[in-house]
């Protein structure tokens, strides 16, 4: 499978979703995910989670969020969506745990940028 084909699959999925063709977008993204190494697919699982969420398929959306978070533990967009799903499911304690994790991630990143000796500032 060529990288051009993989890129085309992903771009087709994005365009189809933007055009309102979520079922076809989901199919294209699922095909893409079946062909690539999972180590960099967290955002693509979020893409699927968002489609499930839009269709009010919250359990499936939650599973995709969990996959995205398992790949990238500090992936704030997946944590935010998962917290929304927990609230919809009246799982307020779990939602608060995700919100707390999000605040912690943001605080850590802010501290890095605030520290003039942090490697982020090296030229």
**Domain spans in the chain, listed from the N-terminal domain onward:** 37-121
**57-95 residue pLDDT tens:** 999 999 999 999 999 999 999 999 999 999 999 999 999
Token pair listed for 53: 């969420």
pLDDT of residue 122: 64
Q: Closest Cα partner for 46 from 66, 27, 20, 32? A: 66
CA distance 106 to 101: 9
Q: What is the mean pLDDT of the chain?
A: 93
Mean pLDDT for the stretch of residues 90-110:
96
pTM for the whole thing?
Answer: 0.84
CATH of 37-121, one of 3.40.50.620, 3.60.70.12, 3.40.50.2000, 1.25.40.10: 1.25.40.10
Token pair listed for 92: 């307020």
- Taking the alpha carbons of 27, 58, 47, 34 in that order, is the dihedral positive or negative? negative
Residue for token digits 């935010």?
80
pLDDT of residue 51: 97
| Burial (0-12, 13-18, 19+ Cβ within 10 Å), 7 | exposed
């Amino acid at each position: 499978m060529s990288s051009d084909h993989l890129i085309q699959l992903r771009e087709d999925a994005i365009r189809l979703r933007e055009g309102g063709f979520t079922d076809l977008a989901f199919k294209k993204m699922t095909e893409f995910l079946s062909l690539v190494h999972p180590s960099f697919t967290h955002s693509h699982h979020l893409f699927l989670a968002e489609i499930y969420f839009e269709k009010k398929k919250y359990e499936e959306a939650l599973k995709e969020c969990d996959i995205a978070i398992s790949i990238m533990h500090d992936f704030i967009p997946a944590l935010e969506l998962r917290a929304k799903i927990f609230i919809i499911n009246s799982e307020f304690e779990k939602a608060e745990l995700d919100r707390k994790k999000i605040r912690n991630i943001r605080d850590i990143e802010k501290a890095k940028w605030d520290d003039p000796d942090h490697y982020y500032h090296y030229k």
